[in-house]
Amino acid sequence: MTPKPRSHNPEVRWIRLRVILVAGALLVGFVLLIARSLQIQFFQSEGWASVANNQIRRSLLFEPRRGDIYDRNGQELAVSIEMESLAANPRVIKNPAATARQLTAAIKVPAAKMEEKLSQPRAFVWLKHYLTPRQVDEVRALDLEGIHFVKEDRRYYPNVELAGHVIGFVGTEHHGLEGLETSMDLLLRGNSDTHPGTKDARGQIIYTHGLPAESGPQGYSLGLTLDKRIQYIAERELQETVRSHQAKSGTAIVMEPESGEILAMAVFPSFNPNSFSSYRPSSWRNRAVTDAFEPGSTFKIFLVAAALEEKLVHPDDLFFCEQGSYRVLNHTIHDLRKFGWLSLAHILRYSSNIGAAKVGEKLGSNRFHHYIRSFGFGKPTGIGLPGETSGLIRPPEQWSTVDLAAASFGQSLSVSAIQLATALGAVANDGLLMQPLLVKEVLDARGKIVGRNKSRVVRRVISADTAQRMKQLLADVISPGGTGAKAALAQYQVAGKTGTAQRSNRQSGGYSEDLYTASFVGFVPVTDPRILVVVVINEPQKGFYGGVVAAPAFRRIAQQTLHALQLPPEKIKNKAKSVAGRDSTDPQMQRRLTALQPVAYDQIDSDHKLAMPDLTGLSLRAALDKLRNFTGSLDIHGCGRVVGQNPEPGSNLSTVDSCSLILAAD
């Protein structure tokens, strides 16, 4: 059998070649695939396993609950409350327009804006933060696909405007924007926490290590030196003073001289940090620390203290006050009255600018500047609030003779209210300058104190003997005939000084003829100062003297603060001791002492006992006004108007130590 000859057909040869090429290519590809698989499986396994884990595993970030802020008695000033916010997954929403219409009726958001959000090609969008309980119920009832709730912490300030400038507020990103909320933001926010989990094919989270803790991370809380009762007193009286004198603004500070602790820091006009965006940014500014002003005659305190410390003058030394007009180079200094010879004590008592200028001449620029700086002026106090000003104290080599004279009565330099309070505290505290203290304690999530700020002596400014002399001189300012007579208290001896300073005119470069800063600074009691109060009123239109505008505000704030601190009236004690040969248990003496005791409330029952007023339906401010002289502790729960109180109306307040108010929204 003869073999069949091979075909020499070109088409057959081409088909065979293509088969060989394809088979060869497949073989090479198969070899490369096996090689790549071996490489991945044996040489790159760890790297690719990590990539796979990253695609399905998630470290879920949990933002900490922001720490709370309390006053010195544990009363809440700022808290974080859990609220429901509304979000959506637009990818699963079939009819965005219809869904938007239904949501608009429930949460009052424009339908066009809502539809735009629901039409986005995303898996998550925010619809509205912080829904009210009624809105939550209405949205739940709609049972819409792709719409879900997310729990968020919202910052809430239960006392509304109270201490708003000190506390500040938090923005939508949960970062502090003003006040302590921003200066202590890192502590209050705390550290973020993570929890492991995996993601399934639908993108749903599976907690592979169990559910996260319900409490979650939490920032540190702050315990302040502020006293809510005293803060309210200061704000109320400051508001009344600014409005009654048609002033532009005002500031009031209450401080403990011995410790430097701030009991109250009030600024008016005020604002509500719960709705800060509805106010102008200028309203957020804490003028007590950010604004510098010319202190006027209150600065004579530090001039005289420096001159006494240097032993250049004595309280009985006489100075000729030029009958009310004194020329220094090409400037003329005036007094309100035509004084002849005045002692150093009377220069303070009658607030003679000419007398102060002559004391300044004795002291000289260099020494006066040294004491100004030593009292803490010209640099921040370090109180821990944002935007604190240094004021303006020029170096002595830049002072002319006129500048020295002007600085002697508080012009040509500027200070802040907190600097003024701290410097006066050195006089009240026997010459020791204290660091002003606002944040007293730092607490963890369990309420345990993890940090405490103690009172700190900055330096000794003047000797204790000089401080005692200054106390006597400043007490004389409050006596009848002195410029501070309207600051006198019936049952406590006050020391202080008035200030009236012309405000600078930015347009002309000189001083305004009709704009003033009226101020009063003082402490009480003189022998053992427990509180000092600084009141500064900017641009009052009805009256402008510090003794007329600011001194009465000091009196009201100091009187109510001393009652709140339960400080026994010192003049009652002195009166009992001054009656020779008569014991304090004598019936006639008891009647005289009782007559001097202040009546705490207007409501008196038939047995002449102090009766608890009916506070039902009153706002918090109105209720606190009724209880303004109550010396026990106040516990306030909720917000809105009073719906419950303990003790009941008509109860004898002399037998209770605390009062509780329950408030609810209208």
CB contact at 8 A, 117 and 127: yes
Q: Which of the residue ranges 103-107, 189-193, 579-583 would you say has the lowest mean pLDDT?
A: 579-583
pLDDT tens figures, 453-474: 999 999 999 999 999 999 999 9
- Report the length, in residues, of the chain: 666
pLDDT at 192: 59
The whole-number pLDDT of residue 626 equals 77
Of 235 and 652, the structure prediction assigns the larger pLDDT to: 235
Give the H/E segment covering residue 497.
strand 495-504
How far apart CA 18 and CA 26 sit, in angstroms, is 12
Q: Which pLDDT score, from 0 to 100, does residue 637 have?
A: 65
pLDDT at 158 over 60: yes
**pLDDT (average), residues 612-640:** 71
Q: Report the range of poorest mean pLDDT among 286-295, 513-522, 631-640.
A: 631-640
User: Is 352 labeled as catalytic in the residue annotation?
Assistant: no
Q: Mapped to the 3 state alphabet, what secondary structure does 587-650 carry? A: HHHHHHHHHHCCCCCCCECCCCCEECCCCCCCEHHHHHHHCCCCCCEEEEECCCEEEEEECCCC
The answer, yes or no, to whether residue 519 has pLDDT greater than 50, is: yes
pLDDT category at 36 given cuts 50, 70, 90 is confident
Q: Which residues contact 34 (CB under 8 A, 6 or more apart)?
A: none
Summarize pLDDT for 560-607 with one digit per residue, the tens: 999 999 988 875 344 333 333 333 333 443 333 333 333 333 333 334
CA angle 576/579/584 to nearest 5° reads 40
Q: Give the pairing type, strands 169-170 and 125-128.
A: unpaired
Token pair listed for 104: 């608009």
Inform me whether the pLDDT recorded for 47 exceeds 90: no
What is the rounded average pLDDT of the residues 343-370? 95
The catalytic position among 297, 351, 414, 416 is 297
pLDDT at 112 over 90: no
The pLDDT mean for the chain works out to 82
Q: How many CB atoms are located within 10 Å of the residue 660 CB? A: 13
Q: What is the arithmetic mean of pLDDT over 372-390?
A: 95
Q: What is the reported pLDDT for 603?
A: 38
Q: What are phi and psi of 244, to 5 degrees?
A: -70, -30
Q: How confident is the model at residue 507 (pLDDT cuts 50, 70, 90)?
A: low
Report the C-alpha gap between 559 and 556 in whole angstroms. 5
What percent of the chain is modeled with pLDDT above 70? 81
Q: Which of 575, 504, 497 is nearest to 536 (CA)?
A: 497
The pLDDT value given to residue 5 = 54
- Would you call 289 exposed, middle or buried from its count of C-beta atoms within 10 A (0-12, 13-18, 19+)? buried
Question: Quick one: pLDDT band at residue 53, thresholds 50, 70, 90?
Answer: low
- Average pLDDT over every residue of 23-28: 81
Above 70 in pLDDT, residue 222? yes
Instruction: Return the C-alpha torsion angle 577, 581, 586, 592, nearest 10.
Output: -50
> How many Å apart are CA 563 and CA 230, to the nearest integer?
10
> What does R_g of the chain's alpha carbons equal in angstroms?
37
Gap between the Cα atoms of 256 and 435, Å rounded:
11
C-alpha span between 483 and 480 (Å, rounded): 8
Give the bridge partners for 610, in sequence order.
Answer: 604
Residue 600: per-residue pLDDT: 34
Average pLDDT on 407-413 reads 93
Which of 9-13, 465-469, 497-501 is least confident?
9-13
Residue 634 above 80 pLDDT? Answer: no
Q: Considering only CA atoms, which of 466, 472, 462 is closest in space to residue 527?
A: 472
**Location of structure tokens 């958001």:** 109
What is the mean predicted confidence (pLDDT) over 68-77? 94
Top-confidence residue, 34 or 517: 517
pLDDT at position 144 is: 82
11 — pLDDT class (breaks 50, 70, 90): confident
Q: Please indicate whether residue 218 or residue 468 has the higher confidence score (pLDDT).
A: 468
Strand 262-268 vs strand 249-255: parallel, antiparallel, or unpaired? antiparallel
Q: Is the pLDDT of residue 440 over 60?
A: yes
Question: How does pLDDT run across 248-300, given as a tens digit for each residue?
Answer: 999 999 999 999 999 999 999 999 999 888 899 989 999 999 999 999 999 99
Residue 108, Cβ neighbours under 10 Å: how many? 9
pLDDT at 653 over 90: no
Q: Give the pLDDT of residue 38.
A: 75
pLDDT tens-digit series, residues 128-137: 877 878 888 8
pLDDT score of 82 more than 70: yes
When pLDDT is averaged across residues 226-245 and rounded to a whole number, the result is 96
The more confident residue out of 191 and 476 is 476
Mean pLDDT of 323-336: 90
> According to the model, what pLDDT value does residue 99 have?
83
> What local confidence, expressed as pLDDT, does residue 577 receive?
35
How far, in Å, CA of 538 to CA of 544, rounded? Answer: 9
